[in-house]
Amino acid sequence: MMQIIERYFDGFNAGDVDAMLACLSEDVAHHVNEGQVRTGRAAFGDFCAHMNRCYKETLSDMVILTNPSGTRAAAEYVVNGSYRVTDAGLPEARGQSYRLPAGSFFDVRDGQITRVTTYYNLADWVRQVSS
């Protein structure tokens, strides 16, 4: 089970949305930090396209934990990013760099990720890109 989570994050760090999507179930539930739940692989792909337009991010210092039954996982990491294009409702983008601790939580069924929940401190991010 840890392999599917590692493949998901390898895809993220490579900027390979298709590799990430291949790890997800068709009906994946994507719980976005401070946002609405998106359902389905297509909606997840749309979210990734938006994020890749506005931000350039890689993840470091990754720690992945799984439960004994292989149905749930958690990952803690640092987001190393650049804010490239202004995102609606957020400060103006000027190529600001940021470094932000974050975490993701997963449900896994039949070798595919069925839930992705991501958390980070939005106020910390806003402070970093506003200075």
Distance, CA of 123 to CA of 70 (rounded, Å): 33
* pLDDT tens for each residue of 103-118: 999 999 999 999 999 9
pLDDT band of 20, cuts 50, 70, 90: very high
Q: What percent of the chain has pLDDT over 90?
A: 95
> What is the pTM assigned to this prediction?
0.95
Which among 96, 55, 100, 106 is positioned nearest to 78, based on CA atoms?
100
* pLDDT tens for each residue of 24-72: 999 999 999 988 899 999 999 999 999 999 999 999 999 999 999 999 9
Token pair 């992945």 in the structure block, residue: 64
Distance, CA of 16 to CA of 103 (rounded, Å): 20
